[in-house]
Amino acid sequence: MEESLLDASEAYAISLDEKAELTKFRDEFYLQKDHYYMDGNSLGLLSKRAEETLLNSLEDWKRFGIDGWLGGKQPWFSLSEKMAGMLAPLVGAKEEEVMATGSITVNIHQLIATFYKPEGKRKKILADELTFPSDIYALQSQLRLKNLDPVEDLIRVKSRDGRTLNEEDIIAAMTDEVAIIFLPSVLYRSGQLLDMELLTHKAQKRGIIIGFDLAHSIGLMPHELHDWGVDFAVWCNYKYLNGGPGSVGGLFVHEKQLGILPEPGLAGWFGSKKEKQFDMEHVLTPAATAGAFQIGTPHILSLAPILGSLEIFQEAGIENIRRKSLSLTRYMMELIDFELRDLGFSITNPMDDRFRGGHVSLEHLEAARICKALKENKVTPDFRAPNVIRLAPIALYTSYHDIWKTVQILKTIMIEEQYKKFSNEREVVA
């Protein structure tokens, strides 16, 4: 840990809030009184602006019917493109390289179907053994569609400790049998941040296409996808970006790829050039931008809240958000180390700011039942099997005092053994 906690008092937590950045944005969100929400890395909270932009689209539907596609406050026909322009700065991209579309898994299928071109012995997909299961399911599915073996032809880089990945091991696996690489930017359990720039450089030096799943980094930290030369990326907008449950996802395709692709792997009418879309021809004329990777009609009511949320990110600044997030997680780790040292917890996320995402990963043998006890005490954590409690203080709406209260509640639960009345099994939705 970079520094030890000098003051574990409640007064100190309050004093940190008095001089903290971004505190004005806390009032933008719907927070429950005396409730401590630490699960913004799974689902961000609703903001008043996201609510407003959703209501705007409902009002457009109410007033204009089908004419809402071109009229009203938020014309639907160009809403995805408008969103792309707001998302692009968050991933360090040109506007034409980004599109708000699909879901994260649909976008994985779209971009793997587009870029995965097995040929000769170069036919394997390189991933890792710690990545989110949905990503692996999609990669296995794409291999089956190519009549390849989802076990033999999917390389999953091993973890040395069961929690993190070593970039040297990933680079060593970049052999001349690998056709494409797909990795997370931040590991969903441990919160480890991978060096995307380094991995991209090493992959492309070997002539391998590389893409990233940004689910746990978008809206949390700056990216430079264009300058790093990343070939493609996907993400969801409902975690740190607070777009709402099941909100439309996003994708990035580097301009160097846009110029050479004949058409997307999975074609649909919303991937057309906008001016050609309603010609109703049976020959697709793909958009020259990342818009080509859209498939079907945009889910307007799942897009609209993201618009309001992104306005907040424009005002707050992603560099400021990252700085505050690192400060919050560092404070939480120091407080946990001070208060819970002898209660069976292990902090397993990276301590170094350079390698840490946005959540604190706590391991405990009784993790599932501890999470249930936290919920009973009005703290919302996140459980990940087999024994991980994830706690995510969010820069835009979590206070230092929220963290202090959360840790005190956790300490009381452990000392009083409140968790013992629950089973040590996850709920259906963990």
| Amino acid at position 174, single letter | M
Which SS3 state, helix, strand or coil, does residue 369 take? Answer: helix
**pLDDT score for 3:** 45
Cβ–Cβ < 8 Å for 150, 144? yes
Residue 4 belongs to a domain? no
**What band does 2 get if pLDDT is binned at 50, 70 and 90?**
very low
Same structural domain, 269 and 328: no
**pLDDT score for 162:** 96
Mean pLDDT of 13-28: 97
* Span 59-107, pLDDT tens digits: 999 999 999 999 999 999 999 999 999 999 999 999 999 999 999 999 9
**pLDDT score for 352:** 97
Same structural domain, 183 and 271: yes
Percent of the chain with pLDDT over 70: 99
Nearest to 204 by CA among 223, 232, 185: 232
Same structural domain, 243 and 230: yes
Residue 116 belongs to a domain? yes
Task: Reply yes or no: is the peptide bond before residue 89 cis, omega within 30 of 0.
Answer: no
Q: What letters, b where the CB count within 10 A reaches 16 and e where it falls short, cover 96-123?
A: bbbbbbbbbbbbbbbbbbbbbebeeeeb
> Which residues belong to the annotated binding site for pyridoxal 5'-phosphate?
104-105, 132-135, 213, 216, 238, 269, 297
Between 424 and 35, residue with greater pLDDT: 35
Same structural domain, 377 and 274: no
* Span 395-404, pLDDT tens digits: 999 999 999 9
Which whole-number Å values give the CA distances from 329 to 10, 262, 391, in the listed order? 17, 45, 9
Which SS3 state, helix, strand or coil, does residue 8 take? Answer: coil
Could you tell me the CATH number of the domain that includes residue 379?
3.90.1150.10
Same structural domain, 381 and 284: no
Q: How far is it, in rounded angstroms, from Cα 164 to Cα 349?
A: 8
Cβ–Cβ < 8 Å for 188, 383? no
> Which residues belong to the annotated binding site?
104-105, 132-135, 213, 216, 238, 269, 297
Same structural domain, 292 and 358: no
Which whole-number Å values give the CA distances from 346 to 39, 46, 362, 394, in the listed order? 19, 31, 6, 21
Q: Which of 314, 337, 361 is the last residue of a domain?
A: 314
**pLDDT score for 1:** 40
DSSP secondary structure letters along 324-363: HHHHHHHHHHHHHHHHSTTTT-EE-S-SSGGGB-S-EEEE
Strands 232-235 and 178-184: unpaired
Which SS3 state, helix, strand or coil, does residue 144 take? Answer: helix
Mean predicted lDDT score pLDDT of the chain: 96
Cβ–Cβ < 8 Å for 69, 77? yes
Which SS3 state, helix, strand or coil, does residue 207 take? Answer: coil
Cβ–Cβ < 8 Å for 228, 91? no
Same structural domain, 75 and 20: no
**pLDDT score for 429:** 79
Residue 154 belongs to a domain? yes
**pLDDT score for 4:** 57
- How many structural domains does the chain have? 2
Residue 102 belongs to a domain? yes
Mean pLDDT of 226-241: 98
Nearest to 402 by CA among 16, 1, 5: 16
Q: How far is it, in rounded angstroms, from Cα 209 to Cα 182?
A: 9
Same structural domain, 76 and 182: yes
pLDDT(17) > 50 = yes
Same structural domain, 145 and 279: yes
Same structural domain, 117 and 241: yes
Residue 56 belongs to a domain? yes
**pLDDT score for 6:** 72
Which SS3 state, helix, strand or coil, does residue 140 take? Answer: helix
Mean pLDDT of 247-259: 96
Could you tell me the CATH number of the domain that includes residue 205?
3.40.640.10
Lowest mean pLDDT among 228-237, 259-268, 364-373: 259-268
Mean pLDDT of 362-372: 97
Domain of residue 74 covers: 51-314
Residue 403 belongs to a domain? yes
* Span 420-430, pLDDT tens digits: 999 998 887 77
Q: Which of 271, 297, 314 is the last residue of a domain?
A: 314
Cβ–Cβ < 8 Å for 180, 126? yes
Same structural domain, 102 and 20: no
What is the pTM assigned to this prediction? 0.96
Nearest to 85 by CA among 365, 414, 314, 351: 314
pLDDT(359) > 60 = yes
Strands 124-128 and 250-253: unpaired
Q: How far is it, in rounded angstroms, from Cα 275 to Cα 311?
A: 28
Q: How far is it, in rounded angstroms, from Cα 262 to Cα 132?
A: 31
**pLDDT score for 273:** 93
pLDDT(109) > 50 = yes
Q: Which of 271, 293, 314 is the last residue of a domain?
A: 314
Same structural domain, 215 and 355: no
Residue 427 belongs to a domain? no
Residue 81's contacts (CB-CB under 8 Å, 6 or more residues apart) are 99, 291
**What band does 5 get if pLDDT is binned at 50, 70 and 90?**
low
Residue 36 belongs to a domain? no
pLDDT(132) > 50 = yes
**pLDDT score for 430:** 75
Which long-range contacts does 401-405 make (Cβ < 8 Å, 24+ apart)?
401/10, 401/13, 401/14, 401/17, 402/36, 402/37, 402/38, 403/13, 403/328, 403/331, 403/332, 403/335, 404/10, 404/13, 404/335, 405/36
